[in-house]
């Protein structure tokens, strides 16, 4: 059963705490992405990674960190520096981000909903 798995589905963060959201894919995709979605809003790019051991900041990277030590895994840490972390977080992957056309299609996980206690 191939796909993108995000865990946990729901996560609660205490003030001053760092939390890590998991994203695993078994699609053998090169690229992985993290997005934040606020209620009634579109998707905003946090970080993305083209290949293992490389990642780039997206549009709203402040207060977040990532790692890409394995091709199939791209965890996102929401740090205490992120003052408004309550949102729906989506992970995605694509086959080959340098190719044209359909290899740019991003496939999404089911999301993690993060709330602040």
Partner 1 sequence: GESVGLHLPTLSVQEGDNSIINCAYSNSASDYFIWYKQESGKGPQFIIDIRSNMDKRQGQRVTVLLNKTVKHLSLQIAATQPGDSAVYFCAENGAGGTSYGKLTFGQGTILTVHP
Q: What minimum distance in Å lies between the beta carbon of 17 and partner 1?
A: 24
Binding residues for partner 1, per CB under 8 A?
4, 6, 31, 35, 40-43, 45, 48, 50, 56, 58, 90, 92, 94, 96-111, 113
The CB-of-52 to partner 1 minimum distance in angstroms stands at 15
Selection from 33, 17, 10 nearest residue 78 by Cα: 17
Smallest separation (angstroms) from partner 1 to the CB of 60: 13
Which residues contact residue 28 at a Cβ distance below 8 angstroms, ignoring those fewer than 6 apart?
71
CB 33 within 8 A of CB 48: yes
């Amino acid at each position: 059963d191939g796909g993108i798995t995000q865990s946990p589905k729901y996560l609660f963060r205490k003030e001053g705490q760092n939390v890590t959201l998991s994203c695993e894919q078994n699609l053998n995709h090169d690229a992985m992405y993290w997005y934040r979605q606020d209620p009634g809003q579109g998707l905003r790019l946090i970080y993305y990674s083209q290949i293992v051991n490389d990642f780039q900041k997206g549009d709203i990277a402040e207060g977040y960190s990532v790692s890409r030590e394995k091709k199939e895994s791209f965890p996102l840490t929401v740090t205490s520096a992120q003052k408004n972390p309550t949102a729906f977080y989506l992970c995605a992957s694509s086959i080959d981000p340098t190719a044209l056309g359909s290899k740019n299609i991003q496939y999404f996980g089911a999301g993690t909903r993060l709330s602040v206690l």
